[in-house]
Amino acid sequence: MEFLRRGLSRFAGPIGRLLYPPVCAGCGGALAAAPAVCPDCWRSLRFIERPYCEVLGLPFSYDLGAGFLSAEAIADPPVFARLRAALVYETLAARMVASLKYADRADLVPLMAAWMRRAGREVIADCDLVVPVPLHSRRLLSRRFNQSAELARAVARAERLAYAPLCLRRRRATRSQVGLGPDERRENVRGAFHVQAGREGEVRGRRVLLVDDVFTTGATVEAATRALKRAGAAEVDVLVFARVAAGAR
């Protein structure tokens, strides 16, 4: 059986590449290997590198010194400890999020999760448990999968971390956050999340890494963080694929 398995795996790669040739995650152009993006699409991506706000991961245009916080983090401190994002939410990064969320492009998950792991080295190193931001059951039924859960699963698997996709639930169906202002977003998700009864032990006393696809105003991850803390989480950090830049909310 082992000989047969090795033989099949030897041919599966070439056959798969013949039937489904690797293409750029951005423009769909041919590539030598996947998952990846072509040089032209790569230049359109704005990766978030230091210097950035130590709390909100908001990129600075110049270095303001170690531990410097953004005006946003000082004026309105979040309930989570730290947020890290791989990219600024614009151009190709925004299209990748939309493709994963609305066009069933699950093939983008390995690439997106790899970039998230790179951006989130600190928070990943400190976490005990990975938890995705959940969808309500009705929305999950219409979309067929939760994009945040797929990203969280890929991060947890690659980092060999505990993964708890069912402990945090969305107790009511909320309106889409698209088009809502900051106050409307906060009200929309207020009290929307809870840790399922009987699963509190999964988060109690643990450092949780909460995973979502995009950070805009922070209303969703703040509401989810409060639910995790009510269940006894010691600390909550947030890891997302992309976040809006300052003034772009």
The number of beta carbons lying within 10 Å of the beta carbon of residue 222 is: 19
**pLDDT band with cut points at 50, 70 and 90 for residue 14:** very low
Instruction: Please say whether the beta carbons of 96 and 113 come within 8 A.
Output: no
Is residue 237 a part of any domain in this protein?
Answer: yes
This prediction has a pTM of 0.86
Is residue 203 a part of any domain in this protein?
Answer: yes
Segments in 44-146 forming alpha helices (H) = 71-75, 91-102, 109-119, 121-126, 137-143
Is residue 26 a part of any domain in this protein?
Answer: no
Is residue 106 a part of any domain in this protein?
Answer: yes
Q: Pick the residue with more confidence: 212 or 35? A: 212
Is residue 17 a part of any domain in this protein?
Answer: no
Is residue 20 a part of any domain in this protein?
Answer: no
d(CA 186, CA 107): 32
Is residue 177 a part of any domain in this protein?
Answer: yes
Q: Pick the residue with more confidence: 29 or 81? A: 81
The CATH number covering residue 196 comes to 3.40.50.2020
State the helix-helix crossing angle for 147-159 and 91-102, rounded to 10 degrees. Answer: 100
Is residue 228 a part of any domain in this protein?
Answer: yes
Q: Does residue 6 have a pLDDT over 60?
A: no
Which residues is 242 bridged to in the sheet? Answer: 87, 214
In the three-class reduction of DSSP (H, G, I as helix; E, B as strand; rest coil), residue 137 is classed as helix
Rounded mean pLDDT, 160-164 = 98
Q: Which domain holds residue 166?
A: 44-243
Rounded mean pLDDT, 224-229 = 96
Residue-wise pLDDT for 73-126, tens only, equals: 999 999 999 999 999 999 999 999 999 988 888 999 999 999 999 999 999 999
Determine what percent of the chain is predicted with pLDDT higher than 70: 80
Rounded mean pLDDT, 56-73 = 87
DSSP states along 144-199:
SS-HHHHHHHHHHHHHT-EE-SSSEEE-S-----TT--HHHHHHHHTT-EEEPTT-
Residue-wise pLDDT for 136-147, tens only, equals: 766 665 667 899
Note the pLDDT of residue 138. Answer: 67
Note the pLDDT of residue 205. Answer: 98
Smallest CA-to-CA distance from 231 within 193, 207, 191, 203 is with 203
Note the pLDDT of residue 93. Answer: 97
Residue-wise pLDDT for 181-203, tens only, equals: 666 666 667 767 899 999 999 99
Q: Pick the residue with more confidence: 44 or 145? A: 44
Mean pLDDT across the chain: 85
Q: Does residue 31 have a pLDDT over 80?
A: yes
Note the pLDDT of residue 103. Answer: 86
**Number of compact structural domains in the chain:** 1
Rounded mean pLDDT, 41-60 = 94
Note the pLDDT of residue 28. Answer: 84
Which residues is 235 bridged to in the sheet? Answer: 207
